[in-house]
Structure 1
């Protein structure tokens, strides 16, 4: 279930002193090799090849840290929250945390310490799954846990990805809304339940990126009209879809990110220049059919104030009651 940019799982390269001792009958002094630059020390007794570590994205490094922490404990603790999310392929809007999260039984308790966060809460066996040999909370339980504690944009980003289905078949839905509601109901009562329920209500399978999810939240918080997501247009005989269509104003908004131009997977074999040209032709074709078209980058998507300014300048009215559930 783990989704990474690299073709193999980067956590497979995690090495430990204990493993080397079992395999070769001697401690190969990985710490000295780390001091010399051959290995990166992930945690006590846990090392990773330096050249591969340097090539990992931030989320992948966090996945390695999570697996190292779980392996070091050799217990039945269940990885949860952001630590479960990274192994389940759920996104981080603002990057991963510095802590590894575990759920422990209320009876067992246990203190958190630097780098390790323990949540003494109840958990139903149905909300536990196994990923790469580690016990983690299910997608649905992870979404609810995070929806109860994260900022609105981050929480909706996670929930939207869990529900999202890519038209091209590159991404499959990880959960259904029914799954989310069932996990939410099993957890009741719990702190943040109202917030989590609002996130589930608001979540959509149509959001195509973290940019779009954050924008959706800030559009609602500012009281702008509710947009139609992934509205289709015909451009030069081909069907294309836009991020946000405001039907009463007949205007289109796009939450634009660099990833579509620079990520080789997203480019589908095209050069960045070709992607830019194709996007221009697509935009021109949509512009001919509507009364307004605008784009905004990630930095505006995640800012309630900056997106409000952009959309007011675009001529959108604030006629909808502002969302106040969060």
Structure 2
């Protein structure tokens, strides 16, 4: 059989359905031959991708591509749950992301256990849907509450914080969605997670750290607090601050030092950032704070590493001796440190 040129397969969406290949003039024999030669990878029944293209995708890129194929393969469905979050560009767990989650809109279709799609049945008003890149996806509040119901708290909170930060949801909208889903499986998890949402958090690690700290029984810290010396000079903005303890928490992802948010990712620049962080930490501790630092590995095993770093900082902290000014928004007036702190809303 004459070999089908690779460009023919690349002209199709990646991945593509067998029906899409047939509509483009290909045949089942050509599909089988391309799979046998290794040009194509058969991802699932009637689902294919160009091998070299598919192998280069990250888990999130692959899942997003599968989302398109899933919606194209079925009638009257919308992307939902984690798949909606991934498609909307919200944070997600590392590694493989599992089946594409869909919610049936006006049918009773379900998926088989070995299907690459997961089709769920649930009420879906039009107001819970939005269009993104030409596909129907659950809007921000619905996506967040669905994720709270089905994911671990650390992952769901990262999705929720990012959605709030991007203006895709609000506390009022989340509470309304939780009320709409009263009695649904997992809704109590959403009820516990919604009060933790804060759109000021800037990374998965920050959000996941707050979730793990909450599960450890710690009070909810303030996020992204600007700390100033008593004379008003800016010392820095900290990831989280436990006012009750005088403990600053810094969630140290590698991007902070390797330049993901900087134009210069060189080793020299990374070293300079480390020195700046060290000097900043010394200035914070000079004001009376104790600084706890942790990374993603410290969240494993129930957060034992996080607990160790925070408890060590608590032993060093002297909140009653702190002298500084602070605010959470640069538009707000500076406030003097008061201890014990007033109850925060």
TM-score, with normalisation over the residues of structure 2? 0.75
Quote how far apart the aligned CAs of 1:106 are.
8.5
Choose the corresponding residue for 1:203, options 184, 197, 204: 197
Task: For residue 258 of structure 1, report the CA deviation from its aligned partner.
Answer: 2.2
Deviation at 1:296, TM superposition (A): 0.9
Secondary structure of residue in 1 paired with 2:185:
coil
**Residue 25 of structure 1: how far off its partner (Å):** 6.1
User: Once the 2 structures are TM-superposed, how far is the Cα of residue 232 of structure 1 from its aligned partner?
Assistant: 1.6
| 8 Å CA contact retained: 2:160, 2:197 | yes
Task: Give, in angstroms, the shift of residue 294 of structure 1.
Answer: 2.9
- Measured against aligned partners, the alpha-carbon deviations of 1:75-103 in whole angstroms (never above 9, x if no partner) come to 11222111212111122234453222221
Q: What value does the CA root-mean-square deviation take over the aligned residues?
A: 2.9
- Compared with structure 1, are the counterparts of its residues 188 and 51 closer, same or farther at alpha carbon in structure 2 (3 Å cutoff)? same
* Alpha carbons 2:294, 2:305 under 8 Å: kept: no
1:251 and 2:247 equivalent? yes
Where in structure 2 are the equivalents of 1:303-322 lying within 5 Å?
Answer: 303-315=302-314
| Cα gap change, 1:97 to 1:270, in 2 (>3 Å) | closer
Are residue 178 (structure 1) and residue 176 (structure 2) matched?
no
Aligned partner of residue 261 in structure 2, secondary structure: helix
- Which position in structure 2 is the counterpart of 1:297? 295
* Shift of residue 311, structure 1, vs aligned partner: 1.6
Q: Which runs of 5+ in 2 are unaligned?
A: 1-11, 317-345
Q: Which residue of 2 aligns with 1:79?
A: 79
- Give the direction of change, closer, same or farther, for the CA distance of 1:233–1:268 in structure 2 (3 Å limit): farther
Any idea what SS the aligned residue of 1:61 has? helix
What residue number does 1:278 align with?
A: 273
1:1-326 residue pairs with structure 2 within 5 A?
Answer: 12-24=13-25, 29-73=30-74, 75-104=75-104, 108-114=108-114, 115-164=116-165, 172-233=166-227, 240-262=236-258, 265-290=260-285, 291-302=289-300, 303-315=302-314
Cα deviation code 1:222-280 (max 9, x no counterpart): 23344221112469x77742212233443322111123445x75333432441342232
- Consecutive unaligned residues of structure 1, counting only runs of 5 or more, are 1-10, 165-171, 318-326
Alignment partners' CA distance in 2, 1:195 and 1:58: 26
Q: In the aligned structure 1, how far is the partner of 2:40 from the partner of 2:26? A: 20
1:205 Cα offset (Å): 0.7
Q: Counterpart of 2:337?
A: none
Query: Which structure has the larger Rg?
Result: 2
- The structure-2 alpha-carbon separation of the partners of 1:77 and 1:226, relative to structure 1 and needing over 3 Å to count, comes to closer
| Contact 2:59/2:97 (<8 A) preserved | no
* 8 Å Cα contact 1:255-1:297 kept in structure 2: yes
Deviation larger for 220-229 or 199-208:
220-229
Give the structure-1-normalised TM-score: 0.79
In 1, distance between residues paired with 2:272 and 2:257?
Answer: 10
User: Looking at both structures, which has the greater relative contact order when contacts are Cα pairs under 8 Å and sequence separation is at least 6?
Assistant: 1
Distance 1:182 1:243 in 2: 29
Q: 1:39 to 1:261 in 2, by over 3 A?
A: farther
User: Quick one: distance in 1 between partners of 2:264 and 2:293?
Assistant: 24
Helix, strand or coil for the counterpart of 1:123? coil
Q: Which residue number corresponds to residue 321 of structure 1?
A: none
Distance 2:212 2:19 in 1: 49
Q: What is the Cα deviation at residue 154 of structure 1? A: 1.7
Q: CA deviation at 1:147?
A: 0.6
